[in-house]
């Protein structure tokens, strides 16, 4: 059997030898006691990249987004977000269970919405209703298929939110992909938002870690909540060093992942029995449908042949290209899909 190719997610990446060297060489302290130099270096580097005053390193994207919700909102507040948003669908409802918030969702096929949709979801100021408080934008949109928010659309949405006295949070788990594909800097995207979360363990290939960035005052508040949630770590410079290495060496190469995703999508488009919307394949995520079949059954058949792709419903599948998905591996996935479709 050919070597397995794992396209279930870009979270399956493994540290490169150079990244492991950086981790071994990291200067360490105790982050809880405030003297972890590598974590501090990462936080300063990220804040600068995003154009924010401060940043906080955290174990996961789920925690980063929850910290944003908790810092912006009070229990009983309402979050305006796309119906497929990661914050409300894939983070065990932490926004509700711990943040105490409700969600007012916006439908759209590609994960994006415009300013008018925000206004349509703002609740009247009335003691019977939740208080509309926070708008969340996810860039790139996972359930949208890796779609990129145009910068002008981001600015319109956030400007409209300000007119309703709402706060704005960017779920930028794959912000690096959006930046590389669009040619816009992370700071340009981040400028419209009060807070930005971003991930190092997806396309950038670090083994662990995310961060939240914002004003110094807000990050001080987030630091307290991180401790409350059990997210404080000791010699976390080992992990922060991987994130620094990823920021220095793995951002520009994301274009390789985008090219592989496009190649995979175009092959799927030419394969009878499979359907893909090529317009939504803008970064490293490919959603496609099994026209007359059973996606879980296809997942099992693919896995028997060394190709791992997730079934996300009765007929829908998702493949994600990444650092460890070689050109040859993507070719293997294409050939295998064609042989069993």
End position of a domain, from candidates 225, 249, 273: 249
State the pLDDT at residue 75.
Answer: 97
End position of a domain, from candidates 249, 273, 298: 249
End position of a domain, from candidates 249, 279, 314: 249
Domain total in the chain: 2
State the pLDDT at residue 161.
Answer: 98
Task: Note down the domain range covering 171.
Answer: 17-249
Residues 40 and 182 placed together within one structural domain of the fold: yes
In whole angstroms, give the CA distance from residue 136 to residue 267. Answer: 34
CATH code assigned at 290? 3.90.1150.10
State the pLDDT at residue 223.
Answer: 97
Q: Tens-digit pLDDT profile for the chain (341 aa)?
A: 567 899 999 999 999 999 999 999 999 999 999 999 999 999 999 999 999 999 999 999 999 999 999 999 999 999 999 999 999 999 999 999 999 999 999 999 999 999 999 999 999 999 999 999 999 999 999 999 999 999 999 999 999 999 999 999 999 999 999 999 999 999 999 999 999 999 999 999 999 999 999 999 999 999 999 999 999 999 999 999 999 999 999 999 999 999 999 999 999 999 999 999 999 999 999 999 999 889 999 999 999 999 999 999 999 999 999 999 999 999 999 999 999 87
């Amino acid at each position: 059997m050919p070597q397995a190719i794992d396209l279930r997610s870009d979270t399956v990446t493994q540290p490169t030898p150079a990244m492991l060297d950086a981790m071994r060489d990291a200067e360490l302290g105790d982050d809880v006691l405030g003297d972890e130099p590598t974590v501090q270096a990462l936080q300063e580097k990220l804040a600068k990249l995003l154009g924010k005053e401060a940043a906080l390193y955290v174990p996961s994207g789920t925690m980063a987004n929850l910290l944003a919700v908790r810092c912006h909102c009070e229990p009983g507040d309402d979050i305006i977000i796309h119906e497929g948003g990661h914050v409300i669908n894939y983070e065990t409802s932490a926004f509700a269970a711990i943040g105490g918030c409700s969600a007012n969702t916006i439908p759209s096929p590609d994960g994006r919405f415009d300013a008018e949709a925000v206004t349509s979801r703002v609740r009247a100021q009335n003691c019977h209703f939740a208080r509309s408080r926070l708008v969340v934008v996810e860039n790139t949109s996972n359930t949208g298929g890796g779609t990129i928010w145009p910068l002008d659309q981001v600015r319109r949405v956030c400007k409209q939110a300000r007119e309703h006295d709402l706060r704005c949070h960017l779920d930028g788990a794959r912000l690096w992909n959006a930046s590389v594909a669009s040619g816009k800097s992370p700071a340009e995207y981040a400028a419209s938002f009060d807070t930005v979360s971003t991930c190092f363990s997806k396309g950038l290939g670090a083994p662990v870690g995310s961060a939240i960035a914002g004003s110094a005052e807000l990050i001080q508040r987030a630091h307290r909540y991180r401790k409350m949630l059990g997210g404080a770590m000791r010699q976390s410079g080992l992990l922060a060093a991987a994130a620094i290495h990823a920021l220095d060496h793995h951002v520009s190469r994301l274009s390789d992942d985008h090219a592989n995703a496009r190649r995979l999508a175009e092959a799927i488009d030419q394969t009878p029995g499979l359907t893909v919307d090529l317009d939504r394949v803008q970064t490293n995520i490919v959603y496609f449908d099994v026209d007359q079949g059973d996606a879980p059954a296809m997942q099992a058949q693919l896995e028997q042949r060394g190709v791992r792709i997730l079934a996300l419903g009765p007929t829908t599948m998702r493949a994600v290209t990444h650092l460890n998905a070689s050109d040859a591996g993507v070719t293997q996935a294409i050939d295998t899909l064609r042989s069993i479709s």
